[in-house]
Structure 1
Amino acid sequence: MNEPGGRKCRPPRFEHAEWPYEPNFRRVNGWRMHYIDEGAGAPVVLLHGNPAWGFLYRKFVKPLTAAGRRVIVPDMIGFGLSEKPVREQAHTLDGHIANLTSLLRQLDVRDATMVCHDWGGPTGLGFALSNTDRVRALVIMSTWAWPLPPAEFHERIFPWRIMHAPVVGPYLLGRHNALAGRGMYLSVVDRKKFAAMAQGIYEGILPDPGSRLLTWTWPRWIPLDESARGFARFEWLERELKKSELPTLLVWGKEDEVFDHKTFATRFKELLPHAEGPELVTGRHFLQEDSGAEIAQKINRFLDRIEGRQS
């Protein structure tokens, strides 16, 4: 691929038996965004959060494409094979929504199902609620979309509020990659399997402190009080969700301690009373690692129902 000005650039690649997909890149708001685009049919857009990347959805791609669906999995700017800006100002919530919007409009994505997890929740819902003509349905997993109150997890001094500290957060998450390492390890159920099969990949895709900037700046956008930087955007998300009539499926990890299903899935159900679920699966916060294939089939069945396909 070529960078602006004609300078040739060799895009990054990642080779793994469970991720045999051709890398694609588009320029979004000046940054190089990586995504995979597999299969044909109505698109399903799979959105990750912090500190993951598209690899989190490796168990989803084949079941969804085999069911006759197009699967698009972007790496958010700052993660995976996408460009990783080294300025905190590049990582506003509105900026990430704009990046996703640019990508999906360039790909002329329509009739899409947005699968939203963690920061892929406010980002994907931000796109969906401002581009309703391009969206067919929502799948919401272990996330949130309102300003307050935060999760009980996010009110704890350790580990969460310490990430907001100006020195300790960058030291632990930047220099020592604590979120991609220890953080993800503690956020799955089958930790032995995760350590053997995936943990090194999440750590290795963020090889140095400069590449890990978003792991410690994104947490600071979770509102803890009304002075938070993202407060107005989350107010808008909550307000627009209440108006939404998009078919919606809620899927939650039974063991999730970050966004527990009793609090957060219940709140989504209040905002979207027509939503199906919550359907509970084995999984802590990164439920895709423990129940990826099962969730993919739940998505297929949900879409079959709303599309009027025969089971």
Structure 2
Amino acid sequence: MIHCRNTVDPKAYLDLYPFESHFLDRKGLRYHFVDQGAGDPVVMLHGNPTWSFFFRRIISALAPDYRAIAPDHMGCGLSDKPDDERYDFSLQSRLDDFSALMDHLALDRITLLVHDWGGMIGMAWAVANPQRVARIILTNTAGFFPPGRKRIPLRLRIIRNLGLLATPAVLYGNLFARGALYMAPRKRLCPTVKQGLLAPYNCPLNRLATLRFVQAIPLVPGDAGFDIVARVDSRLATLAHIPMLILWGRHDFVFDLDYYHEWCRRFPLAETHLFDDAGHYLMEDVPGPIIERVKRFLNRHPIGG
């Protein structure tokens, strides 16, 4: 077994991430989440290889008027970093963790803000609990299979399918998280932000989740999680009555314009904005415009209004 430091010290990033940590016990593993402010709950779900740090600006911007909640998926951020013997890193387990948090906090009528893998996890929960969702905000994500006959990008196929080549590069070279720092944002990240995004993934064991997320992409029948994606894909239309905002970075190397157009096709009544100066890490590229549009959307669609 590989041993290394299990968590990052959040005190090192207090200027950027000044939030109190909360934990939910998941069969002896600690599932970390931020719970900041008071008011209508806005729940944010990150993707791979980020963590709740990715939402730090919008958490701070919303918390005076809203209750901003952002968990770290198991193996990510400040959550525990189990090995394969203690956690199976499946989509079902991700969904179970998130469902447990929603029940633990007794959240109802939430605004769900999702990014990357957070979209599939969050939308799986939403189609099973539509009465608990008041508003949805989508940012460069998917809740369906790749549209048309689209394939996932080559770099993801290599990591997903060629374990003998990809595993050492991801676990020992931190290839996925480090590579994302340069491929995902449109604008250059400052050194402190780069350090913050990488901080939880500081040794091979702590990078296991970033590898397993890619390896767990369900594409064909028989893949673990395929049935979950198929169920969400077929039931997304049941959420059409919920106010939706789609915010998209145009220059995304995974969730490109085909995904954006597919969301628009499925939800023609959604409010949309395509950012020409943003990529996959749009929260880093255009945080001000994102926060402005989110606040306007929340004000236009008051819960109970």
* Corresponding residue number in structure 2 for 1:23: 21
TM-score calculated relative to the size of structure 2 = 0.90
Contact 1:185 1:199 in 2 (8 A): no
Q: 5+ unaligned residues in a row in structure 1: which ranges? A: 1-9
* Corresponding residue number in structure 2 for 1:45: 43
Counting only pairs closer than 5 Å after superposition, residues 95-244 of structure 1 correspond to structure 2 as: 95-149=93-147, 154-156=152-154, 159-164=155-160, 165-191=162-188, 194-244=189-239
Shift of 1:309: 11
Q: Deviations over 1:212-262 (max 9, x none)?
A: 11111111222343443222111111111112121111010022221113x
Distance 1:128 1:152, change over 3 A: same
SS in 1 for 2:278: coil
Distance 1:142 1:283 in 2: 10
Distance 2:98 2:303 in 1: 29
Distance 1:291 1:219, change over 3 A: same
* Corresponding residue number in structure 1 for 2:81: 84
Q: Deviations over 1:28-71 (max 9, x none)?
A: 344211111111100001111101101001110122123x1110
Distance 1:306 1:53, change over 3 A: same
Distance 2:26 2:8 in 1: 17
**1:294 partner letter:** P
Contact 2:34 2:71 in 1 (8 A): yes
Contact 1:115 1:140 in 2 (8 A): yes
Contact 2:245 2:272 in 1 (8 A): yes
Contact 2:219 2:226 in 1 (8 A): no
Supply the RMSD in Å over aligned alpha carbons. 2.3
* Corresponding residue number in structure 1 for 2:299: 304
Counting only pairs closer than 5 Å after superposition, residues 282-297 of structure 1 correspond to structure 2 as: 282-297=277-292
Point out 4+ residue stretches in structure 1 off by more than 6 angstroms: none
* Corresponding residue number in structure 2 for 1:6: none
SS in 1 for 2:63: helix
Shift of 1:279: 4.0
Q: How many residues align?
A: 295
**2:20 partner letter:** E
Distance 1:209 1:151, change over 3 A: farther
Contact 1:181 1:202 in 2 (8 A): no
**1:70 partner letter:** R
SS in 2 for 1:250: strand
**1:25 partner letter:** F
Distance 1:238 1:126 in 2: 9
Distance 1:308 1:146 in 2: 27
Distance 1:163 1:12, change over 3 A: closer
More displaced, 167-176 or 41-50? 167-176
TM-score calculated relative to the size of structure 1 = 0.88
